[in-house]
Amino acid sequence: MCGIVGYVGPQTPGPRPLEVVMGGLARLEYRGYDSAGVALVTPQGLVSAKRAGKLGVLAADLEAAPLPPATAAIGHTRWATHGAPTDSNAHPHLSEDGTVAVIHNGIIENFIQLRAELAADGVAFSSDTDTETVAHLLARAYDGDLTTAMRTVAKRLQGTFTLLAVHADAPDTVVGTRHDSPLVVGLGEGENFLGSDVAAFIAHTREAVELGQDQVVTLTPDGVEVVDFDGNPVAPKRYTVDWDASAAEKGGFASFMDKEIHDQPHAVADTLLGRTDAAGHLVLDEIRVDETVLRQIDKIIVIACGTAAYAGQVAKYAIEHWCRIPVEVELAHEFRYRDPVVNAKTLVVAVSQSGETMDTLMAVRHAREQGATVLAIVNTHGSTIPRESDAVLYTHAGPEVAVASTKAFLAQITAAYLLGLYLAQLRGTKFPDEIAEILDDLREIPAKVQQVLDEAGPVREAAVEMKDVPSVLFLGRHVGYPVAMEGALKLKEIAYLHAEGFAAGELKHGPIALIEDGQPVFVIVPSPRGRDSLHSKVVSNIQEIRARGARPLVIAEEGDTDVLPFADRVFFVPKTASLLAPLVAVVPLQIFACALAAAKGLDVDQPRNLAKSVTVE
């Protein structure tokens, strides 16, 4: 949830540590934006500044009252857990003597006991946070070596944490540790970096190092040393980030969300790239699971949260159809608490953009403990979920910054489809020419998404016109059902609007009672060329709601004139094979939510109460 940056560089004090950390925080602000703060190691000791509110509030303070030159720095953007988003609860937190500064992402679950112990020892607390206990514990454990102090303290902590610390007596050192929360190292020349994710330092280096669970990293200008909590050296895994700083910039769009919606043709195309051999057979190199195991799988369970779970629900229809394997889709936070039936013949597919969602990570661990094979579909390299899974299939959507997920959704569906086709190839449930035909259809999706983007003017106009409606409903059927729920989620999270997605077939079982005069209802209409009578059933639904006063806003395939007499507005999308249709049908809904939130004057990228990656349960 929180964003964390650390930097250590040349030992001649200068402005760079603060510049690097503030630049990194700007790129990480999507992770949390309740408050922000920095601490610098300077020849005068530690100095820190922190303010409630977005990063801009802190930046204005620093402009008005500049901090002295430094050699190392840490910085933090917060998503509040313990304590309100106030100046005093903002990170960093300092020890009483001001020698140690700490920033934290996660929750220290035993902080009440630790706080009581420290209070009994005379410590006066200056915040309501769980994090402040760590600053005091580190100062007490420090005996000239911050790494050892961090190891000692980390062993006492329960819960989830990424912690970074600096000490006034160690101008050339930043120490970090992680337990169930993300932290990556960036390798520079004569300088090194730490960040919650690579966006923190991508402006300076693309060379990165993954940190594993329960490790402590010591960063100096020329070195990165990693040990476990017992002090045993660890050889960390190095990798090169495959995108650059421009990918995490708005590129002329009004918001990251708008930009990321427009990135979607590339997100799909890049996720499809290089997946077949010369003979046209699917080759998913990243899937390191033994083919015999995959042939014996008798059930697939997709675990994910939010938009990623809706991607899983779309994929269920296709994978079951192509592979004839039952597929369950379960919210990750429900999965491990309901005693799921999982065994060695179960393939659990964990879908996550960030690769850090705590609920999904815990479900992955639970599934593996039960003997399942876990395959992760993840967008972020170096993240925790792929590291803890048996295999990974990366989506190549590039960095997703807006809190509302868009391009990751399309990339996740694409990757899950590749997985389904790969299993169909392996298990022989589809002929090679059938698989090749579906792959050809998939390769046409980027151009179709581009067409929807190019023709989106009327969707934007409708959104502006409807900016004051109190509620919008969404109906879909078959693969259109998860699309309806995704459309509703987008509106809830960025426009703060009541929105609900329903299976169109469920309408008469209750939701139709919500229909009154003027109620806008998006209806995702299946292709008339698709499954049996689905198209005519959904067209009937449009008539039913219209008869009760609703304003049907119809997403239909181009040429589908059947919907014209009953729709308030029709947004046509290109003809697409039924199972692939969500990849184009969802795009107008994303654009609608983005335009409506912008018309309301809301912060599209940083909606209230939310954070991009949910790293606490």
Q: Which residues bind ligand M6R (CB under 6 A)?
A: 305-308, 352-354, 357, 360, 403-405, 489, 493, 613-614
Q: Which is nearer to ligand M6R, 386 or 530 (CB)?
A: 386
DSSP conformation class of 188:
-
Active site residue 2: yes
Q: What's the min distance (Å) between Cβ of 486 and ligand M6R?
A: 8
3-state secondary structure 362-422: HHHHHHHHCCCEEEEEECCCCCHHHHCCCEEEECCCCCCCCCCCCHHHHHHHHHHHHHHHH
- Closest of 258, 216, 346 to residue 605, by C-alpha: 258
Q: Which is nearer to ligand M6R, 127 or 353 (CB)?
A: 353
151 SS3 class: helix
Q: What's the min distance (Å) between Cβ of 370 and ligand M6R?
A: 21
Active site residue 323: no
Q: Which is nearer to ligand M6R, 21 or 361 (CB)?
A: 361
Residue type, 125: F
Burial-class residue 66 by CB neighbours within 10 Å (0-12, 13-18, 19+): exposed
CB 30 within 8 A of CB 606: yes
Q: What's the min distance (Å) between Cβ of 396 and ligand M6R?
A: 15
Q: What's the min distance (Å) between Cβ of 294 and ligand M6R?
A: 24
Q: Which is nearer to ligand M6R, 42 or 353 (CB)?
A: 353
Cα–Cα distance for residue pair 394/378, rounded to 1 Å: 5
The residue written with tokens 């035993």 in the block is 110
21 SS3 class: helix
The residue written with tokens 């659990």 in the block is 348
Q: What's the min distance (Å) between Cβ of 29 and ligand M6R?
A: 15
Q: What's the min distance (Å) between Cβ of 411 and ligand M6R?
A: 11
Q: Which is nearer to ligand M6R, 132 or 486 (CB)?
A: 486
Cα–Cα distance for residue pair 491/493, rounded to 1 Å: 6
Q: Which is nearer to ligand M6R, 31 or 167 (CB)?
A: 31
Integer angstrom CA distances of residue 529 from 481, 556, 557? 18, 12, 10
Ranked by CB distance to ligand M6R, the top (closest) residue is: 306
Q: What's the min distance (Å) between Cβ of 236 and ligand M6R?
A: 23
Query: Distance between terminal CA atoms of the chain?
Result: 11
Please identify which of the residues 2, 305, 323, 594 carries the catalytic annotation: 2
Q: What are phi and psi of 114, to 5 degrees?
A: -65, -40
Q: Which is nearer to ligand M6R, 267 or 308 (CB)?
A: 308
CB 36 within 8 A of CB 60: no
Q: Which residues are annotated as catalytic?
A: 2, 612
